Amino acid sequence: MAGDNHLLDVQKLKTWFRTEKGSVAAVDGVSFHVREGEFIGIVGESGCGKSVTSQSIMRLLDEKRRVRYEGEVNYRGENLLQLPPSRMRSIRGNEISMIFQDPMSSLNPVFTIGKQLTEAITLHERVSRRAARERAIELLRLTGIPAPERRMGEYPHQLSGGMRQRIMIAIALACRPALLIADEPTTALDVTIQAQILDLLGELNRSYGMSVLLITHDLGVVAEVCSRVLVMYLGQIVEEAPVHELFARPRHPYTKSLMRAVPTLDSDRSQELPAIDGSVPTLYHIPPGCRFAPRCPYADERCTGPEQPPVVQVGEGHSARCWHAESLMEGGARDDDCA
C-alpha cells in the first residue's frame, strides 16, 4: 500500500521490448516511491535501465508498439499504466514534467524560445497569449536566464549549453508540476554550469516543495543534492538507502565497486583508478541468480545458482539485493575486500 505522503509509488514495474531476438525486460521488477517534496536519485552505469524507468513512468514509450508494461505506477491514487492516452497527456507536463539529457535535441531548432515556452503553458492552461508570455518571462527569470525578454525571441542555437538546459527546466516548470524527473540534466556541461543547474534544482525543491527524481551516473552529484538514492544494475534496484547511509555503509558489492572507482582529491595520480571487472551483460544473456555475480570478486555457488538473491533490510530505510548483505553489514574480511 502506498504511504500517506507518497506522491509516486512504483510497484514491480517491468518494461518489455519485443525484438527480433525475442522479448527482453529492460526494467525488471523495480519498486520504489517518491515522497512529497523529496529529492531522490537513481544511479548506475549506462544501460542499467535508469532512463527506461523514467520514460516508463511518463509512458513516453507508448508510441513504440513493441513495448509492454507490467506492474503499477501509482500517482496520487491513479495507476498511470492503465490510464487512457488523453488522461496521460493531461498529466505529462502539467503534474509530472521531465528534463532530458540533451537540450539541443529536445528543443525545436525552428521555433523561438518564447514560442516553445508559451506553447507549454497554453497547452495545459486556458490563459491569454499575453498572460502566457508574462509567465514565460517570469520562468526565464526564475531559472537565471539573463535578459529574459530578449531571449524570448532567440533560437536554441543562439544559446550556450547551460542556457539551453535552463530553458528546458523553465519549460518543465511551466505548469508548476508536483514531480520533476531530471534525466542526467548535467551531461555534457562543464563543471561550473553543472553546479549551477544542480543548485537551481535544489532551490526549486526547497522553495516550492517540488519532488525531484534525478537520474544520473555520477555519485558525486547524488551526494550533493539527494536525500535518498537507488542503485540500479541490469534493470533491477540492487540497493536503496538514505544518501548519508549509502556512502557511510554501502552493503552491495556493486555499490562498493562504484564508489571505489570515484576519484578523490588525494588519489594517487600515478596509479589507475580501480575498475569493475568485466562488462555489463546484455539483456539477451542475463546470468542466472545474482546478475552481478560474474563481475563480483567473491561470488559463491549460491550467487550463481538458479535463485535470485532476496532484498534484505540492513538498516532503517536501507536494503540490498544480495545474499551476503547481512555478512557485509557485520563487517569482517568481506567488508574489507569490497571497501
**Per-residue confidence of the chain (339 residues) as pLDDT tens digits?**
445 689 999 999 999 999 888 899 999 999 999 999 999 999 998 889 999 999 999 999 887 678 999 999 999 999 999 999 999 999 998 899 999 877 777 899 999 999 999 998 998 888 899 999 999 999 999 898 999 999 999 999 999 888 998 999 999 988 889 999 999 988 777 888 888 889 999 998 998 899 999 999 889 889 989 999 999 999 999 999 999 999 999 999 999 999 887 776 666 666 677 788 888 899 999 999 999 999 998 799 999 999 999 999 999 999 999 999 888 765 433 444 443
- In this structure, the number of other CB atoms found within 10 A of the CB of residue 89 comes to 14
- In this structure, the number of other CB atoms found within 10 A of the CB of residue 85 comes to 9
Q: What pLDDT was estimated at residue 102? A: 76
The answer to whether residue 324 sits within a structural domain is: yes
CA distances from 94 to 38, 42, 120, 177 (A): 18, 23, 9, 6
Distance of CA 250 to the CA centre of its chain: 19
The answer to whether residue 319 sits within a structural domain is: yes
The answer to whether residue 112 sits within a structural domain is: no
- In this structure, the number of other CB atoms found within 10 A of the CB of residue 311 comes to 18
Q: Is-contact 116 108, C-beta < 8 A?
A: yes
3-state SS, residue 169 = helix
The answer to whether residue 302 sits within a structural domain is: yes
Q: Is-contact 47 235, C-beta < 8 A?
A: no
Q: What pLDDT was estimated at residue 1? A: 42
The answer to whether residue 313 sits within a structural domain is: yes
Q: What pLDDT was estimated at residue 292? A: 96
Q: What pLDDT was estimated at residue 330? A: 53
What is the C-alpha separation between 193 and 92, in angstroms, rounded?
Answer: 27
Q: Which residues pair with 184 in a beta bridge?
A: none
Q: Which grid coordinates belong to 293?
A: 555475480
Q: Smallest Cα–Cα separation from 224: which of 249, 181, 266, 194?
A: 194
Fill in the DSSP letter of residue 307: S
Q: What pLDDT was estimated at residue 297? A: 83
Q: Which grid coordinates belong to 294?
A: 560474474
Q: Which helix (H) or strand (E) holds 240?
A: strand 236-242
Count the domains in the chain: 1
What is the C-alpha separation between 178 and 96, in angstroms, rounded?
Answer: 6
Q: Tell the burial category of 22 from Cβ atoms under 10 Å away from its Cβ (0-12, 13-18, 19+).
A: exposed
CA distances from 263 to 209, 235, 257, 266, 274 (A): 33, 26, 12, 8, 9
The answer to whether residue 322 sits within a structural domain is: yes
- Domain range holding 305? 251-265+275-339
The answer to whether residue 131 sits within a structural domain is: no
The answer to whether residue 256 sits within a structural domain is: yes
Q: Which grid coordinates belong to 322?
A: 544480495
Q: Is-contact 211 7, C-beta < 8 A?
A: yes
Q: What pLDDT was estimated at residue 335? A: 43
